Structure 1
Amino acid sequence: MKEINEILELLNPWWKDGSVSRDLARPYKRRVFNRLLKLVDYRQIIILSGLRRVGKTTLLYQIIENLLKSSDPKHVLYFNLDKSAKDLKEILNAYEELVGVNWKKERIFVLIDEIAKLDSWGRKTKLIYDAFPNIKLIVSSSSSIGLEEEAVKNLAGRYFLTNIKPLSFVEFLELKERGELLKNPKLWEREIKREFDSYLLRNLPEIITWDDELLIKDYLRTMIIDKVVKQDIPERFRNVDRDLLLNLLSIFYSEPGIYLDYDSTSKKLRISKKTLIQHISYLEFSYLLRKIKNFRISTSTVSRKMQRLYPYWWTLAYCYGDNYNKIMENVVASSIDAKHYWRKNGKEIDFLVIDGKNILPIEVKNKKQLTKNDMKNMKYFLEKYRMEEGIIIYDGEESEEKFTNRRQGNQGFSARIRHIPLWKWLLEA
Structure 2
Amino acid sequence: MKQLMKMWNPWWTEGKVPASKKRISRPETLETILKLLDIREVICITGVRRCGKSTVMYQAIDHLIGKGVKPENILYFNLDEPFEDKSIGLLDRIFGEYIEIHVPKGRKYIFLDEIQNIKDWEQWVKKFYDLYGEEIKFVLTGSNSSMLSDQLSTLLTGRMITQHVFPLSFKEYLDFEGFELKDPDIQRNEILHYFNKYLFKGGFPEVVLEDDMDINHLRLTEYFNSILLRDIVVGRNIRESAKLIELANYSLSNVSTLLSYSKISNATGLSVNSLKEYLLYLEQAYLIYQLNFFSYSVKDSISIKMPKKVYCIDNGLRNSAAFTFSADEGRLAENLAFVELKRRKVEFFYWKEKREVDFVVKGIDGALTGINCTCTDHIRQGEINALLEFKEHFGEKVSGLILLTKNLEKKENDISYVPLWKWVLGTR
TM-score, normalised by the number of residues in structure 1:
0.89
Paired residues for 1:33-44 under 5 Å: 33-44=30-41
Specify the alignment match of 2:110 in structure 1: 110
Instruction: Report how far residue 27 of structure 1 moved.
Output: 4.8
Q: Return closer, same or farther for 1:276/1:378 CA change in 2, 3 Å cut-off.
A: same
1:368 to 353, 377, 389: 377
Letter of the structure 1 residue corresponding to residue 339 of structure 2: S
- 1:373 counterpart letter in structure 2: G
Is the CA contact 1:368–1:396 (under 8 Å) kept in the aligned structure 2? yes
Provide the residue aligned with 1:275 in structure 2.
274
Structure 1 residue 303: Cα displacement: 3.6
- State percent identity of aligned pairs: 27
Query: 1:197 and 1:82, CA in 2 relative to 1: closer, same or farther beyond 3 A?
Result: same
Work out whether residues 310 and 330 of structure 1, in 8 Å CA contact, stay in contact via their aligned partners in 2: yes
Question: What's the offset of the Cα at 1:267?
Answer: 3.9
**Distance apart, 1:358 and its partner CA:** 2.1
The higher-RCO structure (CA 8 Å, 6+ apart) is 2
Contact preservation (8 Å) 2:372, 2:383: no
Distance 1:57 1:189, change over 3 A: same
The 1:135–1:235 alpha-carbon spacing in structure 2 relative to 1, beyond 3 Å, is: farther
State the distance in 2 between where 1:270 and 1:373 align: 34
Cα deviation code 1:120-151 (max 9, x no counterpart): 11121111111111100000011212334343
Paired position in structure 2 for 1:90? 93
Report whether the alignment pairs 1:129 with 2:129.
yes
Quote the residue 1:334 is aligned against: 339
Deviation of 1:300 (Å): 9.1
Give the drift of 1:166. 1.1
Deviation at 1:297, TM superposition (A): 4.0
Deviations 1:46-71 (A, max 9, x none): 00000111111111111111111311
Following superposition, the deviation at residue 240 of structure 1 comes to 4.2
- Once the two structures are superposed, residues 238-289 of structure 1 have per-residue CA deviations (whole angstroms, 9 ceiling, x without a partner) of 2343211210122111121233322343344333222222111110100111
3-state DSSP of counterpart to 2:61: helix
Question: Between Structure 1 and Structure 2, how many residues are aligned?
Answer: 406
- Counterpart position of 1:412: none
In 2, distance between residues paired with 1:27 and 1:330? Answer: 25
Distance 1:117 1:9, change over 3 A: same
Tell whether 2:362 aligns with 1:354: yes
* Alignment deviations for residues 292-340 of structure 1 (CA, whole Å, 9 cap, x no partner): 0001147796142111112132322111233112111111111112751
CA distance in 2 between partners of 1:24 and 1:422 (Å): 33
Q: Is the 8 A contact 1:296 1:303 kept in 2?
A: no
Distance 1:339 1:288, change over 3 A: farther
Which structure 2 residues correspond to residues 256-267 of structure 1 after superposition, within 5 A?
Answer: 256-267=255-266
Which residue in 1 is equivalent to 2:400?
389
- Give the match for residue 406 of structure 1: none
CA displacement 1:167-202 (0-9 Å, x = unmatched): 1111111222211xx211111111110011121214
Task: Work out whether residues 114 and 142 of structure 1, in 8 Å CA contact, stay in contact via their aligned partners in 2.
Answer: yes
Task: Work out whether 1:312 is the aligned partner of 2:313.
Answer: yes
Is 1:399 aligned with 2:410? yes
Superposed, 1:225-236 pairs within 5 Å as: 225-236=224-235
From the two aligned structures, give the one with the greater strand fraction: 1
Q: CA deviation at 1:371?
A: 4.4
Shift in alpha-carbon separation, 1:311–1:23, aligned structure 2, 3 A: same
Whether 1:15 aligns to 2:12 is: yes
Which residue identity lines up with residue 361 of structure 2 in the other structure?
V
CA shift, 1:81, in A, is 0.3
Matches within 5 A, 1:122-271: 122-133=122-133, 134-179=135-180, 182-200=181-199, 201-222=201-222, 224-271=223-270
- Structure 2: gaps of 5 or more residues: none
Aligned with 1:73 (options 71, 74, 79) = 71
- Which residue of structure 1 aligns with residue 54 of structure 2? 57
Return the index of the structure with the highest Cα Rg: 1
- Pick one of 403, 413, 425 that aligns with 1:427: 425
Structure 1 window deviating more from structure 2 (31-40 vs 291-300): it is 291-300
Aligned partner letter, 1:252: S
Q: For 1:161, give the aligned amino acid.
A: T
Change (3 A) 1:297 1:419: farther
Q: What whole-Å deviation, never above 9, does each CA across 1:369-404 have from its counterpart, x for those lacking one?
A: 2244331110111122122311011224111114xx
Q: Secondary structure at the match of 2:292?
A: strand
- What do residues 191-233 of structure 1 show as CA deviations (whole Å, max 9, x unaligned)? 11001112121412222242232322221110x2111111111
Q: Which whole-Å CA distance do the structure 2 matches of 1:172 and 1:246 have between them?
A: 29
Query: Distance between the aligned counterparts of 1:418 and 1:148, measured in 2?
Result: 40
AA aligned to 1:422 is: L
- Point out where structure 1 has 5 or more consecutive residues left out of the alignment: 403-415
Q: Find the partner of 1:379 among 355, 375, 388.
A: 388
Q: Which amino acid aligns with 2:424?
A: L
Matched letter for residue 82 of structure 1 = D
- Secondary structure of the equivalent of 1:349? strand
SS in 1 for 2:48: coil
CA deviation after TM superposition for structure 1 residue 157, in Å: 0.5
Partner letter of residue 25 of structure 2?
Y
Aligned partner letter, 1:128 = F
Cα distance between partner residues in 1 of 2:318 and 2:301: 26
In structure 1, distance between residues paired with 2:357 and 2:144: 30
* Distance 1:168-1:202 versus aligned 2 partners, 3 A rule: same
Please say if residues 252 and 258 of structure 1, whose CA atoms lie closer than 8 Å, have aligned partners that are also in contact.
Answer: no
Question: What TM-score results when the alignment is normalised by the length of structure 2?
Answer: 0.90
Instruction: Within 5 Å, give how 1:282-301 maps onto structure 2.
Output: 282-297=281-296
